[in-house]
Amino acid sequence: MYVRLTKPTFALGLLALSLSLVLAPAAYAAAADESEECLACHGNESLSATLESGEEAPLFMKRELLEASVHKALRCTDCHAGLEQVPHPERHYKNLAQFRASFGEACKNCHFENYTKTLDSVHYGLQARGDVFAPTCVKCHGSHDIARPAQPRSRISQTCATCHRPISEAYAKSVHGRALFMEQNQDVPICTDCHRSHDIADPKSRAWLMNTPSLCGKCHADSKLMGKYGLSTAVVSTYLADFHGTTAAFGAKGRATKSEPVVALCVDCHGIHDIGKVTGDSAPAFRANLVKTCQKCHKGASDNFPAAWLSHYEPSLTRAPLVFMVKLFYKLIIPFIVGGLLLQILLHLWRTVVNR
């Protein structure tokens, strides 16, 4: 879209740019001066505070961490509000968890949009129930050593691993994880591609489970991305066209219950975090192992049971010719029958009008 700048608009923009260029060095200098003043005390490795629980809260800060942070242009008091006075006003904390949580609200002053997203996340639900180990802004991003979250891209998955170690280990061995960590492949999905970053949903919920085909389809239906690796883009469309996908589209649950049916989703056949190649001998979707995969839902399925499924292939004269011919027959016969019926009705109406 082309936008025409008027002279007043252009002048204001030029003025804003000029002011930012003039004021930026001053802001950096002010932040540096305040940091030096704070480090006069907090640069002492032995500096700590004794809390009511008897725990020691370390108050030492490494200069190198501040200098490498993306927030190095901020003043300390931009985040630690109310501590401008030295010595600082006396504050009381029951334990180390309360002490750390007291600074958790500072992020919303600048990152309000992301903060509001966290209020709908499964992590915030844990915090609201009093879980002191629940992730907060600083637990994921750091406090003083804040770096850009996706540089490198694997940093996000490594951050999630601090709490989700078993899941992270399974992911690292998967086809996605190996490509990320061993090949530094930037195309493969990381944790936040599936679970999002701030408004993380409960992966056990019905809504999230039923959305997994769409999550997988973000990459596997992308013709440009899949063409890069020689993979088919028909996996989502063929899934939605078969009995599993059609049932899922009507909203049945993705897990077995006493009163509701089971729907096989992508993750049921291919795995969740431990996704492997479909061509490997141990792959759950490999032909030799497919009956075991089917038996997870279809108890007592025989060896020829998977033959009723076309996998993710579309029927053709070379693959499933009988299914292809039946499908072609219905494509021809249904319009013929419906068209003939409409013609008969029109002729009947015409004859009725003529005979009056």
Q: Are residues 305 and 263 in the same domain?
A: yes
* Burial of residue 57, with CB atoms counted within 10 A of its CB: 0-12 exposed, 13-18 middle, 19 or more buried: middle
Residue 260 belongs to some domain of the structure? yes
* Sign of CA pseudo-dihedral 79, 83, 85, 88: negative
Mean pLDDT confidence for 154-178: 93
Q: Which residue has the higher pLDDT, 229 or 311?
A: 229
- The least confident of 12-26, 155-169, 274-288, 341-355 is 12-26
Give the three-class secondary structure for 318.
coil
Pair (329, 288) in one structural domain:
no
pLDDT digits (tens, 9 = 90+) for 59-94: 998 888 888 888 888 888 888 888 888 888 888 888
Cα–Cα distance, 20 to 34 (Å, whole number): 20
Residues 221 and 308 in one domain: yes
Please tell me the distance from the alpha carbon of residue 272 to that of residue 170, in angstroms, as a whole number: 9
The count of structural domains within the chain is: 2
Answer yes or no: is 44 within a domain.
Answer: no
Residues 290 and 327 grouped into a single domain: no
**Is residue 177 pLDDT above 90, yes or no?**
yes
State whether 333 and 278 are in the same domain.
no
Is 229 contained in some domain? Answer: yes
My answer on whether 253 and 268 are in the same domain is yes
Say whether both 244 and 296 belong to one domain: yes
- Do 308 and 219 belong to one domain? yes
Same domain assignment for residues 276 and 344? no
Do 275 and 227 belong to one domain?
Answer: yes
pLDDT of residue 67: 85
| Domain assignment present for 113 | no
**Would residue 49 count as lying in a domain?**
no
Choice among 45-59, 128-142, 280-294 with the minimum mean pLDDT: 280-294
In a domain, 12, yes or no: no
Is position 168 within any domain? no
| Shared-domain flag, residues 306 and 332 | no
117 within a domain of the structure (yes/no):
no
Mean pLDDT, range 334-348, rounded to an integer: 93
pLDDT, tens digit, 9 for 90 and up, residues 95-109: 887 887 777 778 888
Half-sphere exposure of 250 (CA within 13 A, CB side): 12
**How far out from the chain centre does Cα 224 lie?**
21
**What is the C-alpha to C-alpha distance for residues 77 and 85, in angstroms, rounded to an integer?**
10
Q: Are residues 307 and 327 in the same domain?
A: no
Domain membership of residue 241 as a residue range? 213-314
Closest among 112, 92, 73, 88 to 38, alpha carbons compared: 88
